[in-house]
Structure 1
Amino acid sequence: MKLNSVLAMIGFLGLSVQVSAQSVSTSPYTSYGIGEVLFDNNIEQAGMGGLSTLSTNPYNSSANFYNPAANAQLNMTSFDFGVNTRLSQFKDEVNTSKKSATYISNISLAFPVGSKARAGFGFQPYSTIGYDLQTVSYNDEVNFANTYEGSGGINSLHVMGSYNITPEFSAGVRMNYLFGEMERKQTITTEGLSLLTDYNYEAKLSGFQFTLGTSYSKKIGTNRRFEAGATYTLGTNVNAKIQDMTTTYTFVDNFPNHIDTIHYKKVYGDMKLPQMVSFGASYRKELNWMIGAQVDWGDWGGYSLTEDENSDLDTRFRVSAGGYWIPNFNSYKSYFDRVTYRLGGFYEATPLQFGDIGIKKYGMTFGFGFPIGKDRDASMLNIACELGQLGKADSQIIKENFANIKVGFTLNDIWFRKRVID
C-alpha cells in the first residue's frame, strides 16, 4: 500500500469533519422543507446531465455511491474529491441580485474486495439551507418589514457495498448517516415603533437512511454493451430535536434590550424523509462513447417535520440524458484524443409549490475528464459545468439563473495485491 494512499485516507477522515459545517447555499428556494437536496452524483456524472444509476466511467475506475450496484466492474481503489462553486442570479419583476458559494461537494474512497465484492465510504452535503430575504407589507396604513433568514443543512457520512451475483447482474446497498442543524428566523419590525419580534426555529437532526441498488450489464458483440440500473431509497424517520422560540425586544445603542420571551417550546420528534426511486439505461462502445437516460421520482409530498407540522411540498420528477466520447483512448500523438468529453441535459418538476404553480428546473451540462498520472491507473482531473434555470420572474416567484462549476479529481491505485517477486 503506497504511503500517499494512506495519507489520502487520513486526509479524508479529517476533511469530513472539517467541512460538515461549511456554508453551501444562497438560494431563497432553500427556505422550504430540508432545503436544496445535494446528494446526487460525482463530477463526471454531473457533466452528463446527472446520470448516476449507471457505470459512467469508461475505464471502470471511478466509484458510484448513488447506485452501489453500479460498481460491479470497479477494479482499482478509487479516491474521489470534488469542489463546487455555485453562481446565482435572482430576478423578480423589479429587482436583480447575485450571490455565490463554494463548498466541498464530495470525498470518497472505494475499493474491490476479492473478485466479486466492492465496498466504500464517503462524505457529501445531503441538503442545504441558505437565504436572507426582506419584504414590506401594509396593514391599516402601517408598514411592516419582515426579514427572513435561514442557514444550516444536513450532511451524510455513508458506506456502501455491492456483490456480483452473476457476471451480468449485481446488487448493492448504501447506508447514510444523516446529521446536521437547520435554523430559520423571522424578524418583524413596525414603522414608527422600536419594538421588534423574532421567531426562531432550530432543528438538530440525526438518523440513518438506506438505499438498495441493482445493475444489469450485457455485452453485445465484441465491444458494445447495454446497461441498466435502478435504486430504491426507503422512506425513513430521522430523529429531530426542535426548539421553537418567539421573543420581543427593543434596540438601545444598537444592542437588543428589554428582551421578553413570549413563547418557547422544545419538541423531540421525527423528520420523515420520503421514498425515492431512480431508473437509468445506457448503450456504449467500450472505451469510445456512451449515451444514456435516467428518470428520478421522489414522494416529497410525504415529507414532514414532527407529526403536527407538514409541508406543502409535492412529488419530484426528473428526466436526464447524456453521455461521453473519447476520440482515441490509446493515442500517443495527441493528449486531447485521450480526454473524455461529456455532455448532457435535464428537466425537473421540483417539489416546490406556490399555490397552483409548480416550480420547474432545467438546464444543460458539459464536462471533461483529463488523464493524469500513469496511463495504467486511469486517474483523472474532472471538470463539469451545469447551466440552468429555476422558477420564473413574476409577481409571486423568483427566477434563479445558476451555474455550478465543479472541479475535482479521481485517483486510482491497486491495493491488497500480493507481490509476485519480493
Structure 2
Amino acid sequence: MKKIFCGALLAFCGVWSFGQDVSTSPFSSYGVGDLLFDNNIEQAGMGGISALSTNPYNSSANFSNPAANQALNITSFDFGINTRASQFKDATSTSKKSTTYISNISLAFPIGTKARAGFGFQPYSAIGYEVSTLTQNDQVTYQNSFKGDGGLNSVHVMGSYNITNEFSLGLRANYLFGDLERDQIISTQGLALVTDYNYKSKINGLQFTLGGYYSKRVGTNKRFDAGATYTLGSSLNAKITDMTTTYAVIDMSPGNIDTIQFKKVYGDLKLPQSVTVAAAFRKDLHWMIGAQLDWGDWAAYKMDEDDDSKIDTRFRASVGGYWIPDFNSYKSYFQRVVYRLGGFYEATPLQVGPEGIKKYGVTVGFGFPVGKDRDASMLNLAVELGQQGNTDAGILKENFANVKIGFTLNDIWFRKRVID
C-alpha cells in the first residue's frame, strides 16, 4: 500500500504543481526569475548545503549532487511544501505578500550494491510580481504598471555509481519547461488611451549536472566528506512572442484595440554554467558541520538579441550542520530528533543599484522520526529567515520567511527477502 500511495501522490502532485503560483517578489522580474532549484527540506535547514550527504542515516536522496547518494541503500520518497511570506519596503511604503507551493517531489532507490537512481519534480525558477509607478512630465502624469507571471519547472532523473568504497560519480538530467511572461501597461491620467507591451516566451530543453563525492573514514566513527558539482551551460528552445497594442478604456473594459507591433521569434535561452564545492566533518549518527561555496556565471545568460537584463555572476557561501543527542534513546523521543542549524550569504546575479542585490539569512530545521525505527522515515521542518535588497541604497528591501514542511518515507523495494 505504501508503494501505491507514493506512486499516486507523485503523479497527482506533479500534474497539479505545474500551475501553482510560486513567486511574489519584484526581484523575480529579472532573467528567468527567482532561482528555486537548490535543495530539499533537510538541506534547507542547514543553510542550503546541498552537495553533501546531509542525512545522518543515509536514507534520503540527494538530487543536487547525484554522487552524494553513495550510501543510499533504501528506497526513499520525498515530498515538501514551502510557504513564503515577504514584507517589501521602499522609502515611502510597505506591503506584504505570501504564497504556498509544492517545492519538491522525488523517488530514489538503489540498484544493486553500487548504483543508485531516481526521478522527481521541482520548480526551477518563478516570476511573480505586480508593481505600479507614477511619473510626471510636462505636467502630464503617467502610470506604469508592471506585471510578470510564470516560471520554469524541472522534471529530472539522476544516477550514480560507486567507483570505490570512498569515491562515487553521478549525473543528473533536467528537462526544463515553462512560460515566462512580462507585461508593461502605460496609461495617462485624464486620457482613456492605454499602451500595452507584452512579452511572452515558451521554454523547453535539457540541462545536465555532473557530480563527484568522496567520503573518508577518520578513526573509528568519524568521516571527512567532500562533494562537488558542475552544471553545464545549456541552450533551451525559446518561442518568443513580442506584441505591442494600444486601446481605449470604455466602461472599464478595453475597446478599439490596435496592434502596433507583433513579432514571433524562435530562438535560444542561454543558461550559464555553475560550480559547487562543499566539505564536512561528521561523527556517525551524532553530528555534522559543513560549508559550501556556489558560483554561477549568470553574466552569460541571454534570452534574445534585444535582452538587456542586468544580470551578473552569482556567488553564495553556506555553513550548517546537524546534531542528534542520542539516536538510540528509548527514554526520550526528542533525544532522537535531528536538530539542524545554518546560515548563508549570497551576492545574487541581479545588478540593481550601486552594489547589486545581496541576500543573507539564517536557517533552523528539525527531523522528527516517524514510522518504524529500521527505515528512518522522517517528518521534516525548516524555517529560513532572511533579507535581500537595501532601502539605504535606494532600492527595494525584502524581509522574507520560508517555512518548509514535508516528509521522507523509506522502505525496502526491489530486494528479495531471504526470510518471509
Bin of the TM-score, shorter chain as denominator length: over 0.9
Task: Find the residue that maps to 1:306 and give its secondary structure.
Answer: coil
- How far apart, in 2, do the equivalents of 1:395 and 1:273 lie? 29
Matching of residues 18-417 of structure 1 within 5 Å? 18-394=16-392, 396-417=394-415
- How far apart, in 1, do the equivalents of 2:393 and 2:337 lie? 46
Q: CA deviation at 1:420?
A: 1.7
Query: CA 1:308–1:97 in 2, change beyond 3 Å: closer, same or farther?
Result: closer
Contact preservation (8 Å) 1:49, 1:343: yes
Q: CA deviation at 1:245?
A: 0.4
Taking structure 2 as the reference length, the TM-score comes to 0.99
Q: CA deviation at 1:139?
A: 1.1
Q: What is the root-mean-square deviation of aligned Cα atoms in Å?
A: 0.9
Cα deviations by residue, 1:297-342 (Å, 9 ceiling, x for unpaired): 0000000002342422010000000000000000000000000000
Cα deviations by residue, 1:118-139 (Å, 9 ceiling, x for unpaired): 0000000000000000001111
Taking structure 1 as the reference length, the TM-score comes to 0.98
Q: CA deviation at 1:255?
A: 1.3
- How far apart, in 2, do the equivalents of 1:178 and 1:362 lie? 27
Q: CA deviation at 1:6?
A: 2.5
Code of the residue aligned with 1:69 in structure 2: it is A
Code of the residue aligned with 2:38 in structure 1: it is D
Partner of 1:15: 13
250-259 or 154-163: which moved more?
A: 250-259
Contact preservation (8 Å) 2:91, 2:394: no
Cα deviations by residue, 1:135-167 (Å, 9 ceiling, x for unpaired): 011111111000000000000000000000000
136-145 or 217-226: which moved more?
A: 136-145
Cα deviations by residue, 1:83-125 (Å, 9 ceiling, x for unpaired): 0000000001110000000000000000000000000000000
- How far apart, in 2, do the equivalents of 1:63 and 1:14 lie? 20
Q: Using the aligned pairs only, state the percent identity.
A: 69
Task: Find the residue that maps to 1:55 and give its secondary structure.
Answer: coil
Q: For structure 2, which runs of at least 5 residues remain unmatched after alignment?
A: none
Contact preservation (8 Å) 2:378, 2:407: yes
Task: Find the residue that maps to 2:350 and give its secondary structure.
Answer: strand
- How far apart, in 2, do the equivalents of 1:416 and 1:176 lie? 25
11-20 or 73-82: which moved more?
A: 11-20
Contact preservation (8 Å) 1:185, 1:200: yes
Contact preservation (8 Å) 2:25, 2:128: yes
Query: CA 1:61–1:143 in 2, change beyond 3 Å: closer, same or farther?
Result: same
Contact preservation (8 Å) 1:301, 1:311: no
Task: Find the residue that maps to 2:4 and give its secondary structure.
Answer: helix
Q: CA deviation at 1:395?
A: 6.8
